[in-house]
Amino acid sequence: MMLEIYSVLHRYEGTVSRFQIDDKGTVLKIVFGFPMMAHEDDPVRAVHAGIEIRRNLKTMNVQSCIGIATGWTICGLVGNDVRLEYTAVGSSVILATRLMQNANCCVLVNEDTYKTSCGSAVFEKICPIKVKGRDDKIRVYRPVESERRITKKLASVRDSVDILGRDKLIEELRLILQDFLEMRHQLAESTPTHVIVMSGQAGIGKATVLRRFLGFMTDNSNMRIFKSSADAVETKTPFFPWKKVFSDILGVDIKNKASQFTTRACENALGNLLDDKFEKHSVLNDILPTVFPEETGEQRLNAIQRRAKLHELLAAILNAVCAKGPMAIIMHACQFCDNASKDLLRAMMSRCKGFMLVITTRSDSGFSELSDLASENLIMRHFALPPLSQDLSIQLVKKTLGQDLDPAVTDVVMDRTQGIPLYCVEFARLVKDSPTGALSELPDTITGAVLLRIDRLLPAPKLILKIVAVAGRD
């Protein structure tokens, strides 16, 4: 049982802060977001981990009650010379305990957790409950299943309304697509591969621009589009974003575990795509939901040979798809790609022709490590998305609110948002909920981003920051 729990926590990078066994059963206190282990999506990780732990324990016929609460805590050493532990204390910890006590063999979360995780899981709202230590009833929600909403986040958008500060970029992308399709019509699969890299910090609007660009792509009915996204949780999973791409190419469901059924489905699809060039090999098991038997004897390959063989087979698949018509591969959030996926990315760019590759990343360099691949057979374009100007930031806040701003609020827009579109939207919501609070408070999204950067500082810079925070600006 403990192995199942710890395996899930290792994947989502949660920490067991306390473990005890008494007459009521086994109780674990799990913390997401300890200093040096903080993530911008810790509430999401906690919800996904809770769902998986409960599902895994249920298969073992073990009942579990899980409570999850998001909020401020104080982290530090508690105890004495006999027993000393590093833990988190605070009202949110107590609330999580109360939710666990009220959970009837399910997972319960508080409202703050629901707000930050509703885009990554399906929740069921239940009646408010009264818990010990609280005067008022609290709103609680029950997550019923995880939902990786990659397809929704990367859904194409056909909209004539301009995007503030991004109109020139979107028009330039449209022209690049038009040139690619014209070259494709003239040169067929001999068309140079077109690589577009969009970079910028979190919340800068990469996904928004990408959705509009996808809208242009879908207007061409002959163009096949394969979308995928790297995941912060899956940075240690080899080939994670590529698995969805090749599963979609072959028409198999990535959620299905590898079995004889999925192997036959992949085998038939590969046979139709490659004809007599199709080669069964165990290296395909690393990417596809197949169970091809391992080679033995002289046919057995070492690690370097397996890597080269995998790249060769996957390049053959992409080239076969490109030969049938124009194709685009979308790779979102590539800052979370594992090393194997980056290596495969380089291989596909150098071995394949006639397709368009669109990459988004938070990397300031914009995947400059790929620039050495540029040649007459590969055209690369890098677009770094800058923050919005002060005027555009104010316009975005007004547009989100649907009304004019108070002069006092207008003066602090740039100071609070730094021209980041996502922060502008969150700031507008704060203004709507609490006009006076907008002058002294930060939205949770901005606070979380700032705290994440602080938590990841080394001890010396963090100490300086604490001293400056106490001393103040004066």
Please tell me the distance from the alpha carbon of residue 461 to that of residue 168, in angstroms, as a whole number. 39
Give the per-residue pLDDT at 158: 64
The two three-digit tokens of residue 379, written as one number: 């055209």
CA 85 to chain CA centroid, Å, is: 32
- The answer to whether the CB of 95 falls within 8 A of the CB of 131 is yes
Measured CA to CA, the distance from residue 274 to residue 320 in angstroms comes to: 7
Alpha carbons 251 and 376: distance in angstroms, whole number: 32
What's the Cα-to-Cα distance from 361 to each of 120, 329, 365, 385, 455, rounded to whole Å?
20, 15, 9, 11, 22
In single-letter form, the type of residue at position 271 comes to G
SS3 content of the chain, % helix, strand, coil (to 5): 50, 15, 35
pTM over the 0.75 mark:
yes
Nearest by Cα to 378 from 420, 338, 346: 346
SS3 456: coil
pLDDT score for 331? 93
Number of CB atoms found within 10 A of residue 309's CB? 17
- CB 366, CB 197: distance < 8 Å: yes
Q: Beta strand 355-361 with 193-199: parallel, antiparallel or unpaired?
A: parallel
Yes or no: say if 44 and 117 are a contact pair by the CB < 8 Å rule: yes
Report the C-alpha gap between 367 and 391 in whole angstroms: 31
What is the C-alpha to C-alpha distance for residues 7 and 11, in angstroms, rounded to an integer? 6
Contact 123, 114 (CB under 8 A): yes
DSSP code, position 254: T
Average pLDDT per 10 consecutive residues for the chain, totaling 474 residues: 88 89 86 83 90 91 92 86 86 92 90 85 88 87 69 62 82 94 88 92 90 89 90 88 94 87 93 88 93 89 93 94 93 91 92 92 73 78 92 88 81 83 82 63 59 68 76 63
Q: Which residues contact 11 (CB under 8 A, 6 or more apart)?
A: 49, 233, 236
pLDDT value for 436: 59
Q: Note whether 142 and 126 are within 8 A (CB).
A: yes
Tokens of 90: 């605070």
**Cα 406 to chain center, whole Å?**
36
List the beta bridge partners of residue 84. 79
- For the record, the structure tokens of 47 come out as 């919800």
Distance separating alpha carbons of residues 392 and 399, to the nearest angstrom: 10
Owner of token pair 């409960």 = 54
> What whole-number distance in Å separates Cα of residue 33 and Cα of residue 37?
6
For residue 278, the model assigns a pLDDT of 87
Closest C-alpha among 188, 189, 210, 180 to residue 356? 180
Single out the residue of 85, 176, 230 nearest to residue 382, CA to CA: 176
Q: Cα 338 to chain center, whole Å?
A: 13
Cα-to-chain-centroid distance, residue 14? 17
Cβ neighbour number for residue 150 with a 10 Å cutoff: 18
Position 172: which residue type? E
| pLDDT in the model for residue 50 | 92
Three-state secondary-structure class, residue 323: helix
| CA–CA dist 358, 177 (Å, integer) | 11
DSSP 375: B
